[in-house]
């Protein structure tokens, strides 16, 4: 090696040795406990099932649903386009990129609120921004959107509008406006098409006249 | 790409492709300047008469590694925002063997074949045709390879974490090993008969 390369090699070793002296910092960007407490007291992290449903139906590209239930439950049923990150693997480096996606609202949901809220707390503490929780979880989503309760005749206009929206949403998710219909719309397309019974016209034995 | 400037919102995401083109030109220029558009130079690594590939890539790796750690220290870079490509162990080993065979047979890797083609090298053009055929076969037969392709996902693994040492110590050790290799490669180059090209 010539003199210039030798000098560059020495410089590289010196710089690398310098890394051993400087303190290791900046790898984790955790927020302070006071900030976390303020964030926990702020209820703005909860998004209603209706708001989420509207964004799912509208195909909102900024919405990233994250299902924190175990994989088995996720495979049984999950909201459209949701990603499964079980709570115990929320800190796995595999998900760092997804959780730090810029411009995306990361919405956690579980069956209820507890696991989703725990995921929210861990991620908020870990410096992940734009994280939310679907209020009430999948159980509440099922009760409001899929099951739905018809409002009384004396209900306010807002309640009637909300019911109407939920009916449309129900149709979107299940293919049926019927309450409690829990078969997804896609299931219909997999059913065998009804066979059309072809009744052939009997062949006439004679031309029956004519030219 | 262009992390962490785009993920942090310093530069809008729509600039991603513009940066891809600019960085592509830069990468191509660096490859061509290093002489990587010549298959004989690249293949020299396998025959021991030219180790410039080893030197260039290891220099790039240790420069980027030391730079990233210093930038992280002075707070200009958030390490957690960097994308670490997941390690798929089985497919990486098999893909590495296939790539190594192709590399030593053809004298190019995908990037350098583009460089060679850009300056009119016929062997690079033929290499590219072969590469396109390979991509086509792989894409069409993907269902056969899918299980292997996705097997052994270890997530975004770092060697330092696997070894249980700090990033700084690993960076120092790798730098020392790389410098040792540079001297070793230069010694081998002197011993092996020169090839004119």
Minimal Cβ distance to A19: which of B13, B69, B186: B69
Query: Could you tell me the sign of the dihedral formed by the alpha carbons of B113, B118, B121, B127, in that order?
Result: positive
Selection from A22, A16, A52 nearest residue A172 by Cα: A52
pLDDT at res. A207: 45
Whether the pLDDT of residue A24 is over 70: the answer is: no
Whether the pLDDT of residue A134 is over 90: the answer is: yes
Task: Kindly list the distances between the CA atom of residue A59 and the CA atoms of A81, A165, B195, in Å, as whole numbers in the listed order.
Answer: 10, 16, 61
In angstroms, what separates the C-alpha of B156 from chain A's closest C-alpha?
5
Q: Which of A20-34, A96-110, B11-25, B88-102 has the highest mean pLDDT?
A: B88-102
Given CB atoms, is B6 within the 8 Å cutoff of chain A?
yes
Q: Give me the residues of A, 172-201, that contact B with CB < 8 A.
A: none
> pLDDT category, B122, cuts 50, 70, 90?
very high
B56: helix, strand or coil: helix
Contact status, residue A141 vs residue A106, Cβ threshold 8 Å: no
pLDDT at res. A200: 63
pLDDT at res. A156: 82
pLDDT at res. A35: 80
pLDDT at res. A208: 40
Contacts of B142 (CB under 8 A, 6+ apart): B149
**Mean per-residue pLDDT, B127-156:** 89
Residue among A2, A8, A15 with most chain B CBs within 10 A, to mutate: A15
pLDDT at res. B101: 92
pLDDT at res. B11: 79
User: Between B44 and A203, where is the model more confident?
Assistant: B44
pLDDT at res. B80: 66
Q: Give me the residues of A, 2-31, that contact B with CB < 8 A.
A: 5, 9, 12-13, 15-17, 19-20, 22-29
Domains of chain A: 33-202 (3.40.250.10)
Task: Kindly list the distances between the CA atom of residue A32 and the CA atoms of A38, A130, A131, B122, in Å, as whole numbers in the listed order.
Answer: 10, 17, 17, 61
pLDDT at res. B13: 79
> What is the percentage of chain B residues whose pLDDT exceeds 70?
95
Closest Cα in chain A to B66: A16
pLDDT at res. B134: 92
pLDDT digits (tens, 9 = 90+) for A139-197: 999 988 888 778 887 878 888 888 888 888 888 888 766 655 544 444 334 445 555 55
In angstroms, what separates the C-alpha of B94 from chain A's closest C-alpha?
22
Residue among A97, A103, A104 with most chain B CBs within 10 A, to mutate: A97
Whether the pLDDT of residue A76 is over 70: the answer is: yes
User: What does DSSP say about strands A105-109 and A46-47: parallel, antiparallel, or unpaired?
Assistant: unpaired
Q: Where are the alpha helices (DSSP H) in chain A?
A: 3-21, 33-41, 49-57, 71-76, 96-99, 114-125, 137-141, 157-174, 185-190
> pLDDT category, A211, cuts 50, 70, 90?
very low
Contacts of B138 (CB under 8 A, 6+ apart): B145
**Mean per-residue pLDDT, A62-83:** 90
Whether the pLDDT of residue B67 is over 90: the answer is: yes
Task: Kindly list the distances between the CA atom of residue A71 and the CA atoms of A84, A186, B63, in Å, as whole numbers in the listed order.
Answer: 7, 21, 41
> What is the percentage of chain B residues whose pLDDT exceeds 90?
38
Whether the pLDDT of residue A27 is over 70: the answer is: no
Whether the pLDDT of residue B175 is over 50: the answer is: yes
Whether the pLDDT of residue B77 is over 60: the answer is: yes
Cα–Cα distance for residue pair A61/A134, rounded to 1 Å: 17
What token pair was written down for B107?
């004298």
Whether the pLDDT of residue A39 is over 60: the answer is: yes
pLDDT at res. A69: 93
Selection from B196, B44, B134, B51 nearest residue B126 by Cα: B134
Whether the pLDDT of residue B184 is over 80: the answer is: yes
Q: Do A92 and B168 touch (CB under 8 A)?
A: no
């Amino acid at each position: 090696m010539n003199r210039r390369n030798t000098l560059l090699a020495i410089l590289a070793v010196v710089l690398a040795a310098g890394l051993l002296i400087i303190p290791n910092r900046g790898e984790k960007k955790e927020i302070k406990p006071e900030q976390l407490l303020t964030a926990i007291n702020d209820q703005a992290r909860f998004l209603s099932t209706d708001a989420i449903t509207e964004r799912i139906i509208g195909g909102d590209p900024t919405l990233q649903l994250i299902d924190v239930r175990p994989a088995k439950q996720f495979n049984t049923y999950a909201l459209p386009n949701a990603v499964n990150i079980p709570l115990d693997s929320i800190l796995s480096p595999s998900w760092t990129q997804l959780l730090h996606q810029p411009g995306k609202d990361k919405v956690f949901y579980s069956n209820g609120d507890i696991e989703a809220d725990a995921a929210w707390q861990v991620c908020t503490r870990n410096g992940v921004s734009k994280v939310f929780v679907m209020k009430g979880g999948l159980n509440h989503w099922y009760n409001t959107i899929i099951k739905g309760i018809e409002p009384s005749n004396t209900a306010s206009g807002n309640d009637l509008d909300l019911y109407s929206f939920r009916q449309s949403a129900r149709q979107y998710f299940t293919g049926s406006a019927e309450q409690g219909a829990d078969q997804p719309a896609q299931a219909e397309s997999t059913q065998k098409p009804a066979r059309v019974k072809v009744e052939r016209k009997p062949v006439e034995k004679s031309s029956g006249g004519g030219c | 790409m262009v992390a962490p400037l785009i993920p942090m919102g310093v530069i809008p995401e729509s600039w991603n492709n513009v940066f891809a083109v600019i960085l592509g030109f830069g990468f191509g220029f660096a490859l061509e300047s290093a002489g990587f558009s010549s298959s004989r130079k690249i293949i020299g690594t396998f025959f021991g008469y030219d180790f410039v590939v080893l030197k260039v890539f290891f220099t790039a790796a240790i420069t980027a590694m030391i730079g990233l750690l210093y930038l992280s220290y002075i707070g200009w870079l958030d390490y957690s925002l960097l994308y670490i490509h997941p390690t798929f162990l089985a497919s990486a080993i098999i893909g590495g063997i296939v790539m190594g065979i192709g590399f030593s047979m053809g004298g190019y890797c995908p990037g350098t074949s583009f460089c060679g083609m850009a300056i009119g090298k016929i062997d690079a053009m033929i290499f590219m045709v072969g590469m396109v055929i390979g991509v086509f076969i792989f894409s069409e037969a993907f269902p056969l390879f899918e299980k292997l392709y996705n097997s052994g996902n270890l997530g975004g693994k770092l060697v330092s974490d696997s070894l249980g040492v700090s990033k700084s110590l690993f960076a120092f050790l790798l730098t020392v090993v790389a410098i040792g290799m540079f001297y070793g490669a230069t010694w081998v180059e002197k011993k092996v008969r020169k090839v004119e090209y």
